């Protein structure tokens, strides 16, 4: 029963012009980006005054296809960086814990959230809610995701197609929300974006719709000083309704325009289907990257990571560049569940998807003054179970290198997967993740 899923939310402190061959990869600086204009934008009424869209409750589960790229299995490799025992327990306690939004008939739930100045927003595929950060009290919702676009018109209002991201732009004190539109009826397919006018998630929003000829699946959003950055796996819809993978796409949204509610554009660069599932760097902390820094995109490759640098020019889009990839070797690994389904859970033979074919959101960036770091993770095979491979990448703006890495897989017979990682102002790293096994129900844990 998908409807009865409940989360316990834990709040915490968290691609021409120049060619060269670099570490076995072609390093390409692609000049110019495709400009995507918004097809509609407006300013909404306060969220509490808008008509809430109906939320599906009960009945048949709403299945949202999880689209994988077809790939060949690699031969078994020994993971040389497995941590098979947990470290000593420390006296860390959650700052706040409270019941969250249920999956409400949607699978997968795509649960995510963001912490603002005084509120926490959680979005679980088809619906979202706003909570008081200090007390955990429910402030607004849960309501259907497309409530944000009530009165906006078009597919962003009329469809509620998930793949949502809730973000908080800490430098501007604004909420940034996005989800897909028109997935079942496209092309065109839509990216629906809403930017709050204040720090209050229940207030009014500047709302935008951008359209694409291909399905912009598995969209991920990040905050950067010169733009909001998106990644998506693009799928071309074929005659008969099936989809073929076209490659990943990197897009920058005009943050300055969107914060002011003006007409806004995206600049997008499409990669070939040799690559898959990029993540854009997301700024943590109060220290911005050096002036003029590009946004960084990272993807998973065979025993390596690929890194691109996206420089956007909002005045002259022809000067925008996506340069890369730089290929960074890492310790050998096999994708968790060979990138597919194998995670057991107690009380049923139904197994869960590892999402082991891609990096897990977010690609967290922090400028510590003396260095810049990116941290990211993915799921790997660890003996007979699945564990979490994590990395710290240093000097992304210069010559990026994998400074440290490890696989967290304590030998207790349980599977750990779908992590999310971040670094604090002291350079310490925390990793939240899912855990499940044949003798336990799926749960949430964290380590550091």
Contact 362, 282 (CB under 8 A): yes
Token look-up 């980006």 returns 33
pLDDT higher at 16 or 301: 301
pLDDT digit string, tens, across residues 217-228: 999 999 999 999
User: What number is the average pLDDT over the span 110-133?
Assistant: 95
What does pLDDT average to over the chain?
89
Both tokens of 242, joined, read 């099936």
DSSP 205-240: EEEEEEEESSEEEEEEEEEETTEEEEEEEEEEEPTT
* 58 pLDDT higher than 80: no
pLDDT-derived band at 88 (thresholds 50, 70, 90) equals: confident
Q: Hey, which CATH number is domain 8-14+26-447, 4.10.640, 1.10.10, 1.25.10, 2.120.10?
A: 2.120.10
pLDDT higher at 85 or 141: 141
Both tokens of 253, joined, read 């949204």
pLDDT (0 to 100) of residue 27: 55
335 DSSP 8-state letter: B
The answer to whether the Cα torsion of 122, 295, 257, 219 is positive or negative is negative
Range name among 60-74, 119-133, 368-382 with the lowest pLDDT average: 60-74
pLDDT-derived band at 201 (thresholds 50, 70, 90) equals: very high
pLDDT (0 to 100) of residue 67: 60
Range name among 29-33, 195-199, 425-429 with the lowest pLDDT average: 29-33
pTM of the model: 0.91
User: What number is the average pLDDT over the span 39-45?
Assistant: 98
124 DSSP 8-state letter: E
User: What number is the average pLDDT over the span 237-246?
Assistant: 94
For 17-124, list the strands marked E by DSSP: 19-22, 25-31, 34-37, 40-43, 62-63, 82-83, 96-99, 106-107, 111-115, 119-124
**Rounded to an integer, what distance in angstroms lies between the CA atom of residue 322 and that of residue 374?**
18
Burial class (CB in 10 A: 0-12, 13-18, 19+), 218: buried
pLDDT (0 to 100) of residue 12: 38
pLDDT higher at 78 or 337: 337
- Residues with Cβ < 8 Å from 321, sequence gap 6 or more? 17, 29, 30, 31, 309, 310, 311
* 257 pLDDT higher than 70: yes
pLDDT (0 to 100) of residue 354: 96
* 11 pLDDT higher than 80: no
pLDDT (0 to 100) of residue 2: 30
User: What number is the average pLDDT over the span 54-67?
Assistant: 52
Count Cα neighbours of 83 within 13 Å in the Cβ-side half-sphere: 14
Range name among 55-59, 274-278, 395-399, 416-420 with the lowest pLDDT average: 55-59
pLDDT (0 to 100) of residue 408: 98
Contact 172, 199 (CB under 8 A): no
The answer to whether the Cα torsion of 180, 103, 363, 328 is positive or negative is negative
Range name among 61-70, 256-265, 317-326 with the lowest pLDDT average: 61-70
């Amino acid at each position: 029963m998908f409807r009865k899923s409940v989360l316990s939310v834990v709040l915490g402190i968290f691609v021409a012009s120049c060619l060269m061959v670099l570490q076995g990869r072609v390093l390409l600086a692609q000049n110019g980006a495709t400009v995507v204009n918004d097809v509609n934008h407006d300013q909404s009424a306060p969220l509490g005054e808008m008509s809430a869209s109906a939320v599906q409750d009960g009945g048949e589960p709403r299945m949202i296809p999880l689209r994988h790229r077809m790939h060949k299995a690699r031969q078994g490799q020994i993971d040389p960086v497995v941590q098979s025992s947990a470290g000593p327990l420390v006296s860390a306690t959650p700052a706040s814990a409270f019941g969250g939004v249920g999956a409400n008939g949607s699978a997968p739930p795509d649960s995510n959230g963001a912490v603002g100045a005084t509120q926490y927003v959680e979005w679980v595929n088809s619906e979202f809610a706003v909570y008081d950060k200090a007390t955990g009290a429910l402030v607004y919702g849960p309501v259907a995701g497309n409530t944000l676009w009530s009165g906006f018109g078009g597919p962003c209002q009329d469809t509620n197609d998930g793949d949502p991201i809730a973000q908080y732009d800490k430098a501007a004190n604004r909420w940034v929300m996005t989800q897909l539109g028109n997935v079942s009826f496209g092309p065109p397919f839509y990216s629906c974006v809403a930017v709050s006018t204040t720090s209050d998630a229940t207030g009014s929003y500047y709302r935008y719709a951008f359209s694409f000829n291909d399905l912009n699946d598995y969209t991920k959003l990040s905050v950067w000083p010169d733009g909001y950055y998106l990644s998506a796996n693009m799928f071309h819809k074929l005659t008969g309704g099936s989809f073929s993978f076209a490659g990943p796409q990197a897009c920058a949204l005009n943050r300055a325009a969107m914060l002011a509610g003006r007409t806004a554009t995206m600049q997008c660069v499409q990669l070939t289907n040799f690559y898959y599932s990029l993540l854009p760097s997301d700024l943590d902390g109060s220290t911005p990257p050096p002036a003029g820094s590009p946004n960084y995109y990272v993807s998973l490759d065979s025993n390596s990571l690929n890194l691109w640098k996206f420089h956007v020019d909002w005045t002259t889009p022809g000067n925008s560049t996506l340069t890369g990839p730089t290929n960074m070797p890492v310790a050998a690994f096999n994708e968790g569940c060979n990138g597919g389904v194998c995670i057991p859970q107690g009380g049923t033979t139904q197994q869960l998807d590892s999402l082991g074919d891609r990096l897990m959101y977010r690609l967290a960036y922090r400028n510590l003054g003396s260095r810049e770091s990116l941290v990211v993770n993915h799921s790997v095979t660890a003996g007979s179970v699945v564990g979490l491979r994590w990395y710290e990448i240093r000097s992304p703006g210069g010559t990026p290198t994998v400074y440290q890495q490890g696989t967290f897989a304590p030998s207790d017979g349980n599977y750990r997967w779908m992590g999310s990682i971040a670094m604090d102002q002291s350079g310490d790293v925390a990793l939240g993740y899912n855990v499940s096994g044949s003798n336990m129900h799926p749960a949430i844990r964290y380590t550091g």
